[in-house]
Amino acid sequence: MEKQKNAVGRRKEAITRVFISKGNGNITVNDKNYKEYFSLVYLQNQVEAPLKSVDGLDKFDVKINASGGGIKGQAEAVKLGIARALLEVNAEFRPVLKAAGMLKRDPRGVERKKFGKKKARRSFQFSKR
């Protein structure tokens, strides 16, 4: 693999573009180190998960452009993006990633607000008297 492979990950409103190339384990999100960008440990684990499952944590450099949504949605979008990019690199990773459930786009989004309600399901406060 001479040049980088790329893929897109999405989750809720977050969209991430992932560029993966041979390297020594540098992961950058919006030109910051991913540990700086995702300060919570469990979000860092989400980002590392696909690379860990194929033993590629120190074999690939990953550059990520993340936009939209919140920090958790972006982290999960990154997870999907990296998993898809790894498939482009080597199709033999598929069974491992599929078994870990990393190739599935999480379809859940925000439920729309209904009229006569305060939010999607939350009613206005009821006063009996």
Res 1 pLDDT > 70: no
Average pLDDT over residues 34-54: 92
**Which residue type, as a one-letter code, is found at position 26?**
N
Residue 10: pLDDT band (50, 70, 90) is very high
Average pLDDT over residues 36-51: 93
For residues 4-27, one letter each, b for 16 or more C-beta atoms within 10 angstroms of the residue's C-beta and e for the rest, the string is bbbbebbbbebbbbbbbbeeeeeb
- The per-residue pLDDT for 2 is 62
- The per-residue pLDDT for 98 is 92
Average pLDDT over residues 89-108: 91
- The per-residue pLDDT for 3 is 83
Q: What is the pLDDT of the chain when averaged over all its residues? A: 92
Res 29 pLDDT > 90: yes
Q: For residues 18 and 9, is the Cβ–Cβ distance under 8 A?
A: yes
Residue 25: pLDDT band (50, 70, 90) is confident
Contacts of 90 (CB under 8 A, 6+ apart): 54
Q: H or E element: which one contains 67?
A: strand 60-67
* Nearest to 79, CA basis, from 58, 59, 62: 62
Report the percentage of the chain scoring pLDDT > 70.
98
Phi, psi for 65 (deg, rounded to 5): -110, 115
